[in-house]
Amino acid sequence: MIGLIQRVINASVSVNDRTVSKIDKGLVILLGITNNDSLKDAEYVCNKTVSLRLFESQENNFDFSLKDVEGDLLVISQFTLPASVTKGRRPDFTNAANATIAKPLYETFIKLCRDQIDKVETGEFGSDMVVNLTNNGPVTIIIDSMSN
């Protein structure tokens, strides 16, 4: 499981010109689920996402986590993250889990996050979404459960 995390001032996601979710200060995670992912991967990426110290203290150090600052979380499914670009010019998506595997893990990931964070918003799984965000920093981190 791959999570691309961005620290944001605000963010929103729209489907068919309709805003389905929005957050204020917090994190946006684009979540890529692979064929080999399990509950263990969802737990790992969730725990890292909510506990990584990505928010600054008065000394401008990364001293606070999403939980510490009581920030919001926006979770967006992103099947393109596990793509391979090693051959040719077209991304190979065979490592991305199909919807029958990915959707239950995506929903489990959201539940795990909601157990730890007050405000967790989502996109619409499988939909063509427009994500707007104001990256703060910019701070962008990649978490890969296969790298742990």
Residue numbers annotated as active site: 80
- Catalogue the E-assigned strands of 16-128: 18-23, 26-32, 55-56, 62-64, 72-77, 120-122
Dist. CA 84–CA 81, nearest whole Å: 9
Which among 135, 142, 76 is positioned nearest to 109, based on CA atoms? 76
The answer to whether 67 touches 114, Cβ cutoff 8 Å, is: no
Q: What six digits make up the tokens of 61?
A: 């150090």
Residue whose tokens read 């595997």: 101
Q: What six digits make up the tokens of 107?
A: 């929903």
